[in-house]
Amino acid sequence: MSTLLVIAKAPVAGRVKTRLTTRFTPRQAADLARAALQDTLAAVLATPAERRVLVLDGRPGPWLPDGIEVAPQGSGGLDARLAAAFALAEGPALLIGMDTPQVTPAHLARGLDFSEADAWFGPADDGGFWALGLAAPDRDLLLGVPMSVARTGEVQRRRLTDAGLTVRDLPGLCDVDTPADAERVAASAPLTRFAALHHGLCAVAG
């Protein structure tokens, strides 16, 4: 049974996208996070998968569409929480975050195709990764990987290859972490909710 996993925080002001507050208010940053999450979940719903699970830190709100299961995030560091998210799957799984509103169903469908790969790795421009797909999820493939540092992606991908897995790469994407990231992603995906909101907020700010 193939599973699409999205690990995310509820878009609450002051708790998400705090690095955007050098340009936007905490409420605006949370609104941008909500738009990014909505774009991500729309892509997930448009992707063939037997299960779609939002692994959430916080409570779901009216932004949650029908067709998405919700499970609470585990505790501990990000490596432990990612490992716990994969434990929710009952077979092959692809896990993504909420920081890439430019993601498409084509990206996700590719990452769920394990016919010629044991794992899929989606590199992020900041040195991390935006997607990880495992034909046979195993928590030991994630535990101990240093997260949120420039070498996170390099270490995670090496963990996969050192385990003897055949790894294929998805296209690199930019995570939305900083105002510069937000501007870049909005420009690259102009038809998204995220881009429309970003444009509106920037127009108001002048």
Q: What is the pLDDT along the chain (206 residues), one digit of tens a residue?
A: 899 999 999 999 999 999 999 999 999 999 999 999 999 999 999 999 999 999 999 999 999 999 999 999 989 999 999 999 999 999 999 999 999 999 999 999 999 999 999 999 999 999 999 999 999 999 999 999 999 999 999 999 999 999 999 999 999 999 999 999 999 999 999 999 999 999 999 987 65
Cα–Cα distances in angstroms (integers) from residue 41 to residues 56, 108, 130, in the given order: 12, 11, 14
Q: Give alpha helix (H) positions in the chain.
A: 26-45, 78-86, 105-111, 152-162, 179-188, 193-205
Q: What's the token pair of residue 44?
A: 């997930």
- What does the alpha-carbon distance between residue 43 and residue 100 come to, in Å, rounded to a whole number? 11
**Residue whose structure tokens are 């037997």:** 50
pTM, rounded to two decimals: 0.96
Sequence letter at residue 62: P
Contact assessment for residue 174 and residue 124, using Cβ atoms and an 8 Å cutoff = yes
Distance of CA 162 to the CA centre of its chain: 24
Q: What's the token pair of residue 167?
A: 């790894």
Report the phi/psi class of residue 52: left, alpha or beta, with left for phi > 0 and alpha for psi in -120 to 50: beta
Three-state DSSP at 150 gives: coil
- What does the alpha-carbon distance between residue 199 and residue 189 come to, in Å, rounded to a whole number? 12
- List the domain boundaries for the chain: 3-205
First to last CA, the chain: 49
Contact assessment for residue 122 and residue 172, using Cβ atoms and an 8 Å cutoff = yes
Question: What's the CATH class of domain 3-205?
Answer: alpha beta
Neighbours of 108 (CB within 10 A): 25
Buried b / exposed e along 170-204 (16+ C-beta atoms within 10 A): beebbbbbebebbbebbeebeebbbbebbeebeee
Q: Which phi and psi angles does 42 have, rounded to 5°?
A: -65, -40
Q: What's the token pair of residue 37?
A: 């999450």
Contact assessment for residue 179 and residue 89, using Cβ atoms and an 8 Å cutoff = no
pLDDT score, position 188: 96
